[in-house]
Amino acid sequence: MKLLAPSILSADFWRLGEQIQACVEGGADLIHFDVMDGHFVPNITFGPVLLESIKKHCPLPLDAHLMIERPERYIPDFVKAGADMVSVHVENSPHLHRTLELIKSLGAKAGVVLNPGTPLSALEEALHYADFVLLMSVNPGFGGQKFIERSLERLRRLRALVDSVKPQILIEVDGGVKEHNLLEVARAGADILVVGSGIFSAEDIKGQTRRLKELLTSSEAL
Ligand code: DX5
Ligand code: ZN
């Protein structure tokens, strides 16, 4: 099943609850939280306290993408706040085995993230310990960026690598995924598709979420 994960980075934070509710009603499968500290990436966003509030009202799994220095310091806080999935970047997690094991020991799904310039080979060992891989199709830090075209080729190679090592691993693709390329990304091997501006820039967030979810469901029929 292909899953749709709205990224709230592009939401209107004045109306965040209402907009997340629209995603829920539109059939979204999980909510993606882009956590940024202004060091690992140029932008600064939010911490566990936001997930805590959302968790009280949102029935969907919460997917915390940690774009922060030394993410291991905050993993317990994010899981305690309600994160069901936590992903860390291979680029700044020298103790990746320990960090992935920490996430799983706390009861969350463990994800490893790869930036567009990092070779897939950096993942090889981590695949044995991860529940999912988050493949960045933009440089992390901002919503609304253009999908890096080479990401499709990388995604196909990653799918083959995952299928050869641990087929149950889910592949999540993040950045520049919109209505026009959603099916292509799904067919290239993505299991979870993160969509930020492609949902929250729509007038009708619920309708747009439903449209993308229906597209994904139709892609499975093909
Ligand atoms: C970028 C984030 C992405 C981003 C996706 O650093 O990891 O999740 O918010 O937003 P769009 O879909 O607008 O590229
Ligand atoms: Zn993200």
Cβ neighbours of residue 79 closer than 8 Å, sequence gap 6 or more: 86, 103, 106, 107, 108
pLDDT of residue 218: 85
- Length of the chain measured in residues: 222
pLDDT of residue 157: 98
CA distance linking residue 47 with residue 38, whole number of Å:
12
| pTM (2 d.p.) | 0.97
CA-based nearest residue to 11, from 149, 209, 216, 211 = 209
Assess whether the C-beta atom of 6 lies below 6 angstroms from ligand 1: no
Ligand 1 atom at shortest distance from the alpha carbon of 196: 12
Nearest C-alpha to atom 3 of ligand 1 is from which residue?
Answer: 175
Say which of 29, 34, 63, 131 is annotated catalytic. Answer: 34
pLDDT of residue 194: 98
Assess whether the C-beta atom of 144 lies below 6 angstroms from ligand 1: yes
37 part of the active site: no
pLDDT of residue 220: 72
Say which of 29, 63, 131, 174 is annotated catalytic. Answer: 174
| CA distances from residue 167 to 116, 131, 152, 189 in whole angstroms, order as listed | 22, 10, 19, 12
pLDDT of residue 21: 98
Assess whether the C-beta atom of 176 lies below 6 angstroms from ligand 1: yes
pLDDT of residue 219: 72
174 part of the active site: yes
Assess whether the C-beta atom of 111 lies below 6 angstroms from ligand 1: no
Average pLDDT by stretches of 10, the chain with 222 residues: 97 98 98 98 98 98 98 98 98 97 98 98 96 98 97 98 97 98 97 98 98 90 56
Closest ligand to residue 195's CA: 1
CA distance linking residue 216 with residue 177, whole number of Å:
12
Asked if residues 129 and 97 have their Cβ atoms less than 8 Å apart, the reply is yes
